[in-house]
Structure 1
Amino acid sequence: MLLCFSSSHRTADFDLLERLERHAPAITAALSEHSDIVSGSVVLATCNRFEAYLDIDEPLPAARAVSTEAVLDAVSTAAGIDPDLLRGASAVYSDHAVAEHLFAVTSGLESVVVGEGEIAGQVRRALDAARRDGSVTSELERLFQVASRTSRGVKNRTGIMTAGRSLVRLALDLAESRVTDWAMTRVLLVGTGKYAGASLAALRDRGVTDVRVYSPSGRAAKFALSHDIAPVEADGLLDALAESDLVVTCSAVTDYVLTRPLLAEAVARPDATERRLVVDLGLPRNVDPAVGELAGVELLDLETISIHAPLTELQAADDARTIVDAAAAEYRARTAEQEVTPALVALRTHVFDILDAEIERARRRGDGSEQTEAALRHLAGVLLHTPSVRARELAREGDAESFIAGAAAVFGIDVDVDAERARPRLTAVDDESAAS
């Protein structure tokens, strides 16, 4: 059974999301310790959502509530968040709803900025991390692969994921009214990861040419060289802050990069600019919220940015949702087909075992020929075709049990089905009785 724990900008405030993101490694480890329930996991942590996609061993509906509570308790304990608070700020999806939710997330339909371009890559990197940790099951692998294909379909067939739809660009749109001339704006970029590259591209699209980069982890020189901008070393940070009109932070560090005392010292310098805008795109926050209390400093953080997220282009969103719904329906259908796969395998094994036994008898009597054997095997395949097609049709209609029961009644095949992990088990059939 698939289960998804989700806490996002739709259900939780950014303080809680920040705490979840900060404790993501501990939560991942805590989930892996529940090996009696969780057989696999993929954890997705972005600036506006924290989600754990889980493959649960126990498929019985009666055990779903128990599994859900166990997962919530594990997340709550690892993150140090009150269980009731966490429960009220999250959603839990199970079974087929997990696929529909992930497909929508990967396609940008659940983002702060609907259709934003970064999420597909973030989902892909979450899967890669889970692969490295060895926590991906075959079912989770299939789920995420279909999600990736669905996202590409949305991107190629609708206008919702056009270039530039992102939190970075939304933040700069909000900054537009505070900037007199982008070409004259002096920018300090803090961070050297994916968001830093996207931020730099968005700034250049607006005509910004004066950009310097600072890295708390010491990667500024390498990033600056590859992006043709100037690096700022640790001993030059105060000067850079004092001279910058716009500071954009998007670092992955877990502590504040810009504290109130640090920025207050920079602002107090005689040659400091009178006003500056600080845009904090980090989660956890890169900037102490108290920075916004300083005279001449305005702070835009993720929570403020999300409040001003624009309405979506309705037609594009509707088209994307149609693609996602179709992909989810097909995923449900293919998952349902897996319920009859053990019975089909058992039926084919049953028929071909009988056929092999009869061919062996004919060989011992000297009656067999290669042409006859080939014809018989072809005939068996033809006879099995219709039951195979009908089995999958019944499964897609939610009636897989009819085929399983029919195979047992007609052919004496007993299939032990244990949810998605079913394995066939044949009832022994005497060769002589089968031949009669």
Structure 2
Amino acid sequence: MAVWALGLNHTTAPLDLRGRFAFAVDQIAPTLHGLRESHARHPEAAILSTCNRTEIYCASDRPEVDHTLDWLAASGGVSPGLLRSHTYLLQDGQAARHAFRVASGLDSMVLGEAQILGQMKDAVRAAEDAGALGTTLNQLFQRSFAVAKEVRSATEIGAHSISMAAAAVRLAGQLFEDLGEIRVLFVGAGEMIELAATHFAARNPRAIAIANRTLERGEKLATRFGGEVMRLADLPDRLHEFDAVVSCTASTLPLIGLGAVERALKKRRHRPMFMVDLAVPRDIEPEVKALEDVYLYTVDDLAAVVQTAQASRQAAVAQAEAIIDAGVQSFMHWLGQRGTVPLIQQLNAQTDAWRAAEIARARRLLARGEDVDAVLEALSRGLTQKMLHGALAELNAADPAHREQTAQAISRLFLRSQNKNGL
């Protein structure tokens, strides 16, 4: 059985290229169906898509790595050559190691962050619901979760991590003298926005507003933080009211355009605006960054902020890598055993057939009144002859160049007790 992973993330691909391969939740099932149908062998498949990465995990009796890359390139409208230059292609043990490192937070922009584990579990559930998850990938991911749990309980990998949301608050604090005096708008109502709102709310801003496509979900979040809710359609007319804007939605097109920000700045008499775009694809047009009174940060811009306390985490990283090494070895051992299952089944079926034939023969002899000891002797001789026939035939038929190798293999298989005793 072959396992492979194809991915691009914040270290291998720029934000706009990653945006071409970001899959919303409602896109996962049809995308998995299209991916599997495009492969001749219809492999097991799962897609992990976050703001920092898109990864495809597959398993089949034979690897089809190049075909998977060609399919992904076509889905994003880029050439396979361009995509290959920004992706990583991993197989078997390396694919397992990568999955374990991702689940444990070792491959994240924020070292040790825990959010990725929940996102990976969501990806597995989506694959399972789509009927794309089989025994091999299920085993890979369940082992990933177990390794991640051990890493978190046995190391301090997350003790010094700084979340994207905390980094946004830190940057805002560098621009505004007192965060208690600013008005903050959050666009979206997902997990990332909830986390960001929690961090900003801890600084007691003057006002908080939630703009979301679904008012009901926006109201729940706004109530939690004592804020107001607004419709996305009202955003352009009210943008000027806010000093800080944090956006993270699943929209495939920007929600905040250059023109809307320019009009907002004019109404604000060019008082500065702090903007954070955590979405992939972007929620805020990139041209906004060029405006003189706007401080716009994307997920990639936050990388330098979150990579702090690196030295104090190195010991935890080394411990985590050791746990992952053990997990990879265990998974590869299981995967190797999976490859011998058909042979084991065939051997069991063959020996059962031999046993049934010899028992039937013995019963016939006993029914005719034959001596019991003689029947048992014949039964045991018949079984041993059947089991040895193939090995002896191979030994006699082997050419001189391979006879010694054949003899050693037969010796290991049939003379194990003698070998253990040094005979």
The TM-score range, normalised by the shorter chain, is 0.7 to 0.9
Distance in 1 of aligned mates of 2:307 and 2:333: 35
Aligned-pair Cα RMSD in Å? 3.2
* Partner residue, 2:328: 328
**Structure 1 gaps, min length 5:** 59-63, 369-375, 377-401, 412-436
Q: CA deviation at 1:295?
A: 3.4
User: In structure 1, how many angstroms separate the alpha carbons of the residues matched to 2:206 and 2:330?
Assistant: 48
User: For 2:107, what is the secondary structure of its paired residue?
Assistant: coil
Residue in structure 2 matched with residue 81 of structure 1 by the alignment: 78
Where do 1:327-366 residues align within 5 Å?
Answer: 327-351=327-351, 353-355=353-355, 365=366
Contact 1:168 1:281 in 2 (8 A): no
The question of 1:215 aligning with 2:212 is answered yes
Which residue is equivalent to 1:430?
none
The aligned residue for residue 36 of structure 1 is 40
Structure 1 residues 252 and 353 mapped into 2: Cα distance closer, same or farther (>3 Å)? same
Corresponding letter in the other structure for 1:14? L
1:369-406: CA deviations, max 9, x gaps?
xxxxxxx9xxxxxxxxxxxxxxxxxxxxxxxxx9xx75
**Counterpart for residue 103 of structure 1:** 100
8 Å CA contact 1:244, 1:273 repeated in 2: no
The equivalent residue for 1:252 is: 250
Query: How far off its partner does 1:286 sit?
Result: 0.6
Q: Decide whether the 8 Å contact of 1:155 with 1:162 is kept in 2.
A: no
Q: Which residue of the partner structure matches residue 4 of structure 1?
A: 5
- Structure 2 residue runs of 5 or longer lacking an equivalent are 373-379, 381-405, 416-423
Tell me the residue number matched to 1:183. 180
Q: 1:407 to 1:202 in 2, by over 3 A?
A: farther
Deviations 1:209-243 (A, max 9, x none): 63210014544234324554311234643464222
Distance in structure 1 (CA, Å) of the matches to 2:172 and 2:411: 67
Question: Does 117-126 or 168-177 show the bigger shift?
Answer: 168-177
2:290 is the counterpart of 1:304: no
Superposed CA offset, 1:328-361 (max 9, x none):
1111112122233344444444555555556666
CA gap 1:85/1:285 in 2 versus in 1, 3 angstroms: same
- 1:227–1:406 distance in 2 versus 1, CA, 3 Å: farther
State the alpha-carbon separation in 1 of the partners of residues 90 and 37 from structure 2. 21
Q: Give the match for residue 47 of structure 1.
A: 51
CA drift of 1:53 comes to: 0.6
Q: Which stretch shifts more, 210-219 or 346-355?
A: 346-355
Query: Post-superposition shift, 1:14?
Result: 1.2
| Aligned mates of 1:169, 1:310 — CA distance in 2 | 12
The TM-score with structure 2 as length reference comes to: 0.78
Length, aligned pairs only? 371
State the distance in 1 between where 2:61 and 2:41 align: 5
Shift of 1:108: 0.9
Q: Is 2:241 the counterpart of 1:243?
A: yes
Residue pair 2:211, 2:218 contacting (<8 A) in 1 also: yes
Q: What is the correspondence of 1:71-220 to structure 2 with a 5 Å cutoff?
A: 71-162=68-159, 165-208=162-205, 210-218=207-215, 219-220=217-218
SS in 1 for 2:149: helix
The amino acid of 2:317's aligned partner reads: A
Is the CA contact 1:2–1:98 (under 8 Å) kept in the aligned structure 2?
yes
Q: Give the Å deviation of 1:294.
A: 2.5
Secondary structure of the equivalent of 1:85? helix
Q: Is the 8 A contact 1:27 1:78 kept in 2?
A: no
Q: How many Å separate the matches in 2 of 1:226 and 1:316?
A: 35
Partner SS, residue 268 of structure 1: helix
User: Residue deviations 1:297-344, cap 9 Å, x none?
Assistant: 110111211244414311111111111111111111121222333444
1:415 corresponds to which residue?
none
> Contact (CA 8 Å) 2:111, 2:161: kept in 1 or not?
no
Cα distance between partner residues in 1 of 2:220 and 2:410:
66
- The Cα shift of 1:167 comes to 2.1
Give the TM-score of the pair, scaled to structure 1.
Answer: 0.76
> For 1:31 and 1:406, how far apart are their aligned partners in 2?
45
Match of 2:419 in 1: none
Instruction: Choose which of 252, 264, 278 in structure 1 pairs with 2:275.
Output: 278
Which amino acid letter does the alignment assign opposite residue 337 of structure 2?
E
- Whether the aligned pair in 1 keeps the contact of 2:183 and 2:208 (CA below 8 Å) is yes
> Counterpart amino acid of 1:16?
L
Distance 1:407 1:135, change over 3 A: farther
Native 8 Å contact 1:216 1:253 kept in 2: no
The 1:256–1:98 alpha-carbon spacing in structure 2 relative to 1, beyond 3 Å, is same
Matched residue, 1:15: 16
Which residue in 1 is equivalent to 2:315?
A: 315
Contact 1:277–1:299 (CA<8 Å) still a contact in 2? yes
What CA distance in whole angstroms lies between the structure 2 residues aligned with 1:207 and 1:156?
Answer: 33
Change (3 A) 1:259 1:136: same
CA distance in 1 between partners of 2:168 and 2:254 (Å) = 20
User: For the structure 1 residues 297 and 171, does the alpha-carbon distance in structure 2 shift closer, same or farther, using more than 3 Å as the test?
Assistant: same
Paired AA for residue 244 in structure 1: F
Give the letter aligned to residue 60 of structure 2. Answer: I
Within 2, Cα distance between the matches of 1:229 and 1:276? 19
Classify the secondary structure of the residue corresponding to 2:166.
helix
Are the aligned partners of 1:347 and 1:407 in contact in 2 as well (CA < 8 Å)?
Answer: no
